[in-house]
Amino acid sequence: MRGRMARNAFALGSAGLLVLGIAGCNQSAPESSTSQADLKIVEQVQIDENGAEVKAAEGEAPADPAGDGKATCPPVSIAMAGALTGPDAALGINIKNGVQMAIDIHNAANPGCQVQLKPFDTEGDPQKATGIAPQIVDDQYTIGLVGPAFSGETKATGTVFDQAGLVAATASATNPTLSENGWKTFFRGLANDGVQGPSVANYLKNTLGYKKICVVDDSTDYGLGLAVPVRETLGPVADSACNIQVKKGDKDFSAAVTQIKGVSPDAVFYSGYYSEAAPFVQQLKDGGVEATFVSADGTKDPEFVKQAGESSKGAILSCPCGPATGTFAEDYTKKFGQEPGTYSTEGYDLGTILLKGIDSGAITRPALLDYVKNYNGQGLARKYQWSPTGELTTNLIWIFKVQ
């Protein structure tokens, strides 16, 4: 049944553009033609680095964490590290739930190999992650890690995991420079911002035909890592009069709103996380800015719609993450009481890859590292095969819209 579930989910994801209902809200919505509760983040199109549409390819069935049900293994665990509390917790929880779902499917099918998930809450803070990393590597039973989730904490801890020989497969850290540190245990489960930045910039410039865009970043490793290629690719379309930096944690964007309104751009690209994107887009709308609000994977979460409400309507969001569709989405929602969000499929896919390695007999850190290095297989979100630096060999970006 699990094999059928995975195949059906992939077939549905490949068949065409499906509505991805990943936003919900229980509070009363304001009176309008479209209530806040009706707003969803809807998948639009898959694009290449030129911003051109790429049809989702038909392919082989995705890997099934259940395997053949005959696996045997000693007590082993997979760790997950990311923000599980704090303002950006939804992104980490999405990953954790994806990994947990894969492990639960595996354990139910393989009584002779029971793998434990050990989650670690970094709050997305590099300093906290630095204190947690030794706890992960000092656990002799932990032979693989899905994480860290954010770029800053990955940068701060990558050497620790590398020295310990522990596979660190991130479902979400997209700063391009992470794969340039010489780490042998780093694997990125999605395209980096060196791909996402040019892709979304060219989509806005070439496909949508925007002539003037304001680019705002939150000064974090993630925000800057994405904003730089966006600005470079946009060229003169990125108006220098509204090239703005704000700070993570800011809630008052009045100065930026005034600056942007004076330029009258076609679009505002915000490079940061949903916890700041939500009040920012609200203040832009309240300030009379009519430009299209555009952001990326750090914003593409149901919490953005929930927190921004009607102001999020019409927002365009790019993401290297794969959409969650079909039976996978149904089973996930039933299991966790919420629909899958950004990085849920990546968490599931990366957890599945580590489980397949364990089932193959790779029950030590060196063996699992070797397994992942040589992995080549289809997942729910995409095909997974890595270069020697831990980057995927094929990268595409999805465009979503709040509607």
User: What are the pLDDT digits (tens) for 333-342?
Assistant: 999 999 998 9
Phi, psi (degrees; rounded to nearest 5) at 296 = -135, -155
* pLDDT at res. 35: 52
* pLDDT tens-digit series, residues 20-67: 333 333 333 333 334 556 899 999 999 999 999 998 766 679 999 999
For a pLDDT cut of 90, what percent of the chain falls above it?
85
Domains annotated on the chain, with CATH: 17-55+194-319 (3.40.50.2300), 76-186+325-401 (3.40.50.2300)
- Across the range 207-217, mean pLDDT stands at 98
* pLDDT at res. 36: 57
Q: Is 35 exposed, middle or buried (0-12, 13-18, 19+ CB in 10 A)?
A: middle
Are 362 and 159 in contact by the 8 Å Cβ rule? The answer is no
- Pairwise CA distance, residues 217 & 12, whole Å: 35
- Across the range 370-389, mean pLDDT stands at 96
* pLDDT at res. 325: 80
For a pLDDT cut of 70, what percent of the chain falls above it?
90
Are 126 and 154 in contact by the 8 Å Cβ rule? The answer is no
Q: Which residue has the tokens 């930045």?
A: 197
pLDDT band at 142 (very low <50, low <70, confident <90, very high): very high
Does 223 score more than 50 pLDDT?
A: yes
Are 320 and 330 in contact by the 8 Å Cβ rule? The answer is no
Q: Is 4 exposed, middle or buried (0-12, 13-18, 19+ CB in 10 A)?
A: exposed
Beta-carbon contacts of residue 240 (< 8 Å; ≥ 6 apart): none
Per residue in 378-387, is it b (16+ CB within 10 Å) or e — as a string?
bbbbbbbebe
Are 99 and 78 in contact by the 8 Å Cβ rule? The answer is yes
CA distances from 122 to 155, 225, 254, 335 (A): 13, 21, 31, 24
* pLDDT tens-digit series, residues 229-269: 999 999 999 999 999 999 999 999 999 999 999 999 999 99
Global pTM? Answer: 0.83
Does 5 score more than 70 pLDDT?
A: no
- Across the range 147-154, mean pLDDT stands at 97
Cα 221–chain centre separation: 15
Strand order in the sheet with 167-170: 115-121, 76-82, 142-146, 167-170, 186-188
- Across the range 207-225, mean pLDDT stands at 97
